[in-house]
Amino acid sequence: MTKKICVIGLGYIGFPTSLVFARAGFEVIGVDVSERVVSALNAGEVHIEENGLEEIFQDVRTNYAFKAQRHPEPADTYIIAVPTPVNADHTANVDYVVSATEAVLPYLRKGNTVIVESTIPPRTIDDVVAPVLTKAGWRVGEEIYLAHCPERVLPGRIFQELVENNRIVGGYNPQSAEKAAEVYRAFVKGEIILTSATSAEMAKLMENTFRDVNIALANELAKVSASIGVDALEVIGLANKHPRVNLHTPGPGVGGHCIAVDPYFIIEKAPELTPLMTASRAINNSMPAFVVEQTGKITPSHAGKRVAVFGITYKGNVDDIRESPALEVVHMLGENGFDVRVHDPHVLAELAPFPMFTAEEAVADAECLLILTDHNEFKALDLSLLSRMKSPVILDTKNCVESSHVPQSAGKLYNYGNLHELSRVDTVAVPVSQLA
């Protein structure tokens, strides 16, 4: 039975996973290439935001076995939880996964299990990771066991879902699947399903592709509704009264290192067979331009006009800005001549890609307050902020501010229910290339 686990990558998945394993009684070595991350953790400071993280980390430091360092060491199981970036052509960059696999080679011993949790294209375990181990002289599936066990947790609920969710364990061979399953049985209360590595890879990608396609449908509905004078939010509510319909809610685009990325990993394997996935990606990628266009309708002759942007993370109440559509919105607003002031209470100024302002500074003399993230702070918006604006107009792209919360005397609130009310003159000229 595994006693010692080495987790490679201490990001949004690897770090919480390390803590859960530690609390389950394992000795855990957390490895990250970032000296900043390692130093912070060894000083007792967390480097990401997640519900319950600080309390659980302090509990682990006090009562369990966890340490952070820059390099691996001998262990029974190695878990690879490094990022899988997307190249400029939307293909997967598996270099980090390969580097992490190569990093553990000097420490591997017969009987070890290597588990890749990173999201990867189909056949990466068979065609990329296994050959690295084979080249090093190991008989994969006999001497060294290899599996893909994709994470499937929701930020904000990571610690709950790591334990309670069902877990897919995809083995390089059946023996590898069983060895990896033994590791997760230590704490997973959900069902543990054993399958092949390729099926596990595809299942993870399809979970998020399913969501991407359905979000694209909602976003396309929002565009059509704004064009023909329909309340998209009312239509969604009515349609969802049907017992077999569950339309999503439109937004400013899709972000995070899952839904905005995973479909591409399938598309790259068979681009001629994935027109629906490709179209959905294009629709969701077009939403930042659509948001900028609506902002331009609120502020005609927009050159130099100030826009306050509230929220740049990809979802509410987290600090994660990976693939956030808000970043593209801010960039495009600047390109179109707006004076943009960004406020996000969950993003540290030193880690933000733009200058950050307090809420009061951001709205001062602004002609539009653009909400791009549904943080709780924005759902209960302080209406006194509107009095600081030159024109108290809110464009809520996350549909998070209740219309009853903003009386007409305080300002005007636009969301996907009433975009058709906006003037159609003097709109922002967004380049066609940015609509795809």
SS3 call for 7: strand
Residue 299 confidence (pLDDT):
87
As a whole number, mean pLDDT of residues 283-304 equals 90
As a whole number, mean pLDDT of residues 60-69 equals 97
**423, pLDDT greater than 80:** no
**426, pLDDT greater than 50:** no
Residue 429 and residue 289 in one domain = yes
Supply the CATH number for residue 408's domain.
3.40.50.720
**266, pLDDT greater than 90:** yes
Q: What percentage of the chain reaches a pLDDT higher than 70?
A: 96
Residue 306 and residue 425 in one domain = yes
SS3 call for 257: coil
Q: How many domains does the chain have?
A: 2
Residue 188 and residue 299 in one domain = no
The Cα angle at residue 210 between residues 209 and 213, in degrees rounded to 5: 80
Q: Which residue among the candidates 6, 179, 204, 305 is catalytic per the annotation? A: 204
The Cα angle at residue 317 between residues 164 and 403, in degrees rounded to 5: 115
- Please check whether residue 202 lies inside any domain of the structure: no
Q: Across 77-166, where does the E strand assignment appear?
A: 77-80, 113-116, 145-148
Residue 173 confidence (pLDDT):
98
Annotation says 368 is catalytic: no
Q: Kindly indicate the confidence band of residue 435, based on its pLDDT and cuts at 50, 70 and 90.
A: very low
Residue 187 and residue 269 in one domain = no
- Please check whether residue 361 lies inside any domain of the structure: yes
Rounded Cα distance, 248 and 172, in Å: 36
Residue 278 and residue 179 in one domain = no
Residue 26 and residue 163 in one domain = yes
- Among the three residues 197, 213, 235, which one is the final residue of a domain in this structure? 197
Residue 192 and residue 266 in one domain = no
**429, pLDDT greater than 50:** no
Residue 335 confidence (pLDDT):
94
Residue 298 and residue 168 in one domain = no
- Please check whether residue 253 lies inside any domain of the structure: no
Residue 53 and residue 170 in one domain = yes
Domain range for 413 is 262-435
- Among the three residues 146, 166, 197, which one is the final residue of a domain in this structure? 197
**427, pLDDT greater than 50:** no
Tens of pLDDT, residues 203-254:
999 999 999 999 999 999 999 999 999 999 999 999 999 999 999 999 999 9
- Please check whether residue 218 lies inside any domain of the structure: no
Q: Kindly indicate the confidence band of residue 302, based on its pLDDT and cuts at 50, 70 and 90.
A: low
Residue 181 and residue 278 in one domain = no
As a whole number, mean pLDDT of residues 109-133 equals 98
Residue 298 and residue 416 in one domain = yes
Q: Which residue among the candidates 6, 149, 258, 368 is catalytic per the annotation? A: 258
Please name the residue that has the structure tokens 């201490």: 10
- Please check whether residue 421 lies inside any domain of the structure: yes
Please name the residue that has the structure tokens 């600081």: 388
Residue 1 confidence (pLDDT):
54
Q: Where are the alpha helices (DSSP H) in 258-387?
A: 262-267, 275-298, 325-335, 359-363, 376-379
- Please check whether residue 207 lies inside any domain of the structure: no
Tens of pLDDT, residues 33-42:
999 999 999 9
Residue 433 confidence (pLDDT):
41
Residue 430 confidence (pLDDT):
44
How confident is the prediction for the chain on average, in pLDDT? 93
Q: Kindly indicate the confidence band of residue 303, based on its pLDDT and cuts at 50, 70 and 90.
A: confident
- Please check whether residue 247 lies inside any domain of the structure: no
How many alpha carbons fall within 13 Å on the CB side of residue 38? 16
Q: Kindly indicate the confidence band of residue 432, based on its pLDDT and cuts at 50, 70 and 90.
A: very low
Please name the residue that has the structure tokens 């990771």: 129
- Please check whether residue 203 lies inside any domain of the structure: no
Q: Kindly indicate the confidence band of residue 152, based on its pLDDT and cuts at 50, 70 and 90.
A: confident
Give Cα 313 to chain centroid, integer Å.
9
CA-wise closest residue to 51 among 12, 102, 95? 12
Tens of pLDDT, residues 361-417:
999 999 999 999 999 999 999 999 999 999 999 999 999 998 888 888 888 999 999
Annotation says 258 is catalytic: yes
Q: Kindly indicate the confidence band of residue 183, based on its pLDDT and cuts at 50, 70 and 90.
A: very high
Residue 191 and residue 295 in one domain = no
- Among the three residues 149, 173, 197, which one is the final residue of a domain in this structure? 197
Residue 410 confidence (pLDDT):
84
- Both structure tokens of 252: 């400013």
